[in-house]
Amino acid sequence: MKKLYDYFDHRYRESVMSKPAAQDGPVITISRQTGCDARQVAEMVVDNLNRKYCTNKWKWIDKDIIFKVADELNTDPNRIENFYKGIELSDVSEMIMAFSGNFVSDMRVKKAIKDVVLSMCKEGYIVFVGRAGVAIARDIVNALHIRLVAPFYWRVENVMKKKEMDIETAEEYVVDTDEKRFNLIQTFLDKKPLTIDYLFDATINRNSFSITEIADFVTNMFECKVAKRMKSVQ
């Protein structure tokens, strides 16, 4: 009976410790449909916030998470990148990794990603670009969650210019990447909703506004939702 009690006590403590604390942050997550210039927006938001609050604490992060998680698991960054892309390990790959002693299951990768993101949230002053940040940080009070969208062919044209693709390749890329990003967010949710719209504080049409205008919107929304609240509880 004591072993059973100890087991459930450990599970309870683990679940409580893994939950993000209300005082974590401040954090901004920027999710996007493919081709909406989220990295440029994030960079400008960081510049805005550092100037506004006379600090250099704010930073933005995207692919750096891959290397942080790979370090945590002592594995190849490509293993983490493939998880993000939804690429499943083949039976042969699993066997090779198992025999080499480097096998890392999807469950371990998922947990490591969540742990790394939440540890960054505890430090705060960070803007996450994609990487399921909105799903992982959804319970943090001092957070602002933004989504960038745009008409399909506006995004296709943007991808064609930036990646030097023809229209058919760009169309396939946009559809495929949108689906993978949606699936990734669902992976970190307790349930599999038909829509993820409810996760966001604001959805902005990239086609309607410039990068500078969107960055200014996000900065102002952060002030309204997060900064004022943090001041009131200090």
Domain positions in the chain: 26-227
Cβ atoms of 136 and 25 closer than 8 Å: no
Q: Render each residue's pLDDT in the chain as its tens digit; 234 residues.
A: 434 334 434 444 444 445 545 568 899 999 999 999 999 999 999 999 999 999 999 999 999 999 999 999 999 999 999 999 887 655 445 545 544 556 788 999 999 999 999 999 999 999 999 999 999 999 999 999 999 999 999 999 999 999 999 999 999 999 999 999 999 999 999 888 889 999 999 999 999 999 999 999 999 999 999 988 777 555
Q: Assess if CATH 3.40.50.300 describes domain 26-227.
A: yes
The first and second tokens of residue 223, run together, are: 């002030």
**pLDDT score recorded for residue 22:** 57
